[in-house]
Amino acid sequence: MPSSEPHIADALVSLGRPARNEGRHVNMPVELGSTMVFDTLAAFEAARDARYDSGTLYYGRYGNAAVFQLEDLLAKLEHAEGVTLTSSGVAAVSLTLLTFARPGGHILVADHIYGNTRNFCDSVLARMGVEITYFDPMIGADIAGLIRDTTFAVMFEAPGSGTFEVPDIPAIAGAARAAGVPSILDGTWATPIFCQPLTLGVDVVVASMSKYLSGHSDCMMGMIASTAEHAMAIRKTVMAVGDKTGGQEVFLALRGLRTLKIRMEHFERAGLEMAGWLGEQPQVKQMLHPAYESCPGHAFWKRDFSGASGLFSVVFHPCSDAQIRGFVDALHHFGIGVSWGGYESLVLPVTPLRTAGTWTEEGQLVRFNIGLEDVDTLKADLAAALPLLNTASE
Ligand SMILES: Cc1ncc(COP(=O)(O)O)c(C=O)c1O
């Protein structure tokens, strides 16, 4: 696996820290506050006029020194010209879509998109009179045929975080850009350690920082990274809505990011080992892990990503719901819960929702998040529970 660019490791250590002076703390302290005061009215007015610029200290809702440090670090990682933090990953997605949405407009959304993105489109955007077309994530450059005069955005995800199809990012982003339509990619799965979508022609990257980026399941946050063209419009929408990250969360995210690279390298290694082992078990029908040929879009993953995170799904041979429930409940080292990307292993049965196509794979889909536990412990846990999935003939 090609390793990520060396400058990422340096940025994770050296950026997002207090300014260089003697006797400084190594980390940004927790910064809390609402009102900021100025010595002169002229200084206040200058800050007010520049309040949307990252780095301007004006009022707590517009950011503070720690927020700006975190935004700068993320911009470096994503090769972005603008980054705005949000209170959650869902807020990052919805506020980006709101930035571009127009009443009576049209949006193209990948059919394997994260469930709450679909929910935002089908509820809030639909109420605004927006028409939504879900498309096959493997459509590639043929997306051009679905773009209308009224299309205001193409929203997709790479890979899908339940079924793991990897779309052709440059083909979709390129077709959108050629038509003058911004493309928005949810890049939560790969993190900038394994993929930098803005370098592949995407206009806006959104991510849940509640997952790998903060990394310890103790922080809710999102981020929106974009080209210069869209950065200010997005920032103004976030500020207009009044979405805001807390000081404690900013501290936790900066702290978590220091170890992002080594965590991702571990998750890749452990995820591949667990997927390899699971793939050999008789109960497993198909491995939906982008590093496996059996995963749709594997060739695009090889071309556009420098690695794989530790989240993947397995299709088990058809069995009863009761068997799946028994299997999941029997695991001791896999927590049952939504989200992922923390230090702990998780398991969750997934029911894919499709409206552009249908999910035709026969069998039960179960998603695994591989954490930092010893892989032998995880294998032993699974080995003890897997026989519960055996059908009568096995
Ligand atoms: C792919 C993806 N994007 C966005 C989100 C939303 O992030 P958050 O939980 O931080 O709102 C999630 C959460 O599960 C996700 O899986």
* pLDDT one-digit tens code per residue, 72-97: 999 999 999 999 999 999 999 999 99
Q: Tokens 């026969």, residue?
A: 362
Structural domains of the chain, with CATH: 6-257 (3.40.640.10), 261-389 (3.90.1150.10)
Q: Residues with beta carbon inside 6 Å of ligand 1?
A: 88-90, 114, 116, 157, 161, 186, 188, 208, 210, 220, 222, 338-339
pLDDT at residue 263 is higher than 80: yes
Q: Using an 8 Å Cβ cutoff, are 245 and 89 in contact?
A: no
Q: Using an 8 Å Cβ cutoff, are 152 and 102 in contact?
A: yes
Neighbouring CB atoms inside 10 A of 201's CB total: 19
Kindly state the percentage of the chain with pLDDT values over 70: 98
Check if 285 is active-site. Answer: no
Residue type (1 letter), 342: G
Q: What pLDDT shows up at residue 57?
A: 98
Tokens describing residue 286: 């198909």
Q: Report the candidate in 200, 173, 205, 160 with the shortest Cα–Cα distance to residue 187.
A: 205
Catalytic, out of 211, 235, 263, 367: 211
Q: What would the pLDDT profile of 303-319 be if each residue is shown by its tens digit? A: 999 999 999 999 999 99
Tokens describing residue 394: 């096995």
Confidence of residue 5 (pLDDT cuts 50, 70, 90): low
For atom 14 of ligand 1, which residue has the closest CA? Answer: 339
Q: What pLDDT shows up at residue 312?
A: 98
Partner residues linked to 366 by β-bridges = 314, 349
DSSP H stretches of helix in the chain: 6-14, 41-49, 65-78, 89-100, 115-120, 126-127, 169-178, 191-194, 228-241, 247-257, 260-279, 298-304, 321-330, 375-385
Confidence of residue 342 (pLDDT cuts 50, 70, 90): very high
Task: Give exposure, 232-269, as e/b (b: 16+ Cβ within 10 Å).
Answer: eebbebbbeeebbbebebbbbbbbbbbebbebbbbbbb
pLDDT at residue 393 is higher than 50: no
pLDDT at residue 278 is higher than 60: yes
Q: What pLDDT shows up at residue 391?
A: 75
Could you give the CA distance from residue 153 to residue 90 in angstroms, rounded to a whole number? 17
Task: Give the lowest-confidence range in 10-24, 101-115, 184-198, 365-379.
Answer: 10-24
Mean pLDDT of 196-213: 98
Confidence of residue 392 (pLDDT cuts 50, 70, 90): low
For atom 6 of ligand 1, which residue has the closest CA? Answer: 89
